[in-house]
Amino acid sequence: GDKPIWEQIGSSFIQHYYQLFDNDRTQLGAIYIDASCLTWEGQQFQGKAAIVEKLSSLPFQKIQHSITAQDHQPTPDSCIISMVVGQLKADEDPIMGFHQMFLLKNINDAWVCTNDMFRLALHNFG
């Protein structure tokens, strides 16, 4: 019943990411590199500094993520792609659903996030 190694790595990364995000977003720089890309609600950011600046400046004081489901796959070039579905609660706002995808790459024996895409699960067909 052992999970494949990419699932172990992926779920460890996810746990680490949201723990940092919920407790101290400024520490998230450690998981990105200068070539990393973030798409946040359709806005593009590239590089560790730009990504951390964006995540640190999000307009809430406290946030809590709850993960509903996570899926991980190995890619042909030895990376791991992870998809997360969950809910978040920011300050006193109502609970909202979200989706997030990460591409993880092993560089110098450390797993880093090269690509990160985030969307709230809002459906405005206007």
State pLDDT tens for residues 43-56: 999 999 999 999 99
Number of domains in the chain: 1
Q: Which range of residues forms the domain containing residue 60?
A: 5-120
Count the neighbouring beta carbons within 10 Å of the beta carbon of residue 37.
17
Q: Tell me how far apart the alpha carbons of residues 82 and 61 are, in angstroms, rounded to a whole number.
A: 27
Position 35 in a domain: yes
State pLDDT tens for residues 58-111: 999 999 999 999 999 999 999 999 999 999 999 999 999 999 999 999 999 999
Position 126 in a domain: no
Order the strands of the 32-40 sheet from edge to edge. Answer: 43-46, 32-40, 110-120, 96-107, 80-90, 63-74
Position 125 in a domain: no
For residue 93, give the CATH number of its domain: 3.10.450.50
Position 60 in a domain: yes
- Answering whether pTM is above 0.95, one says no
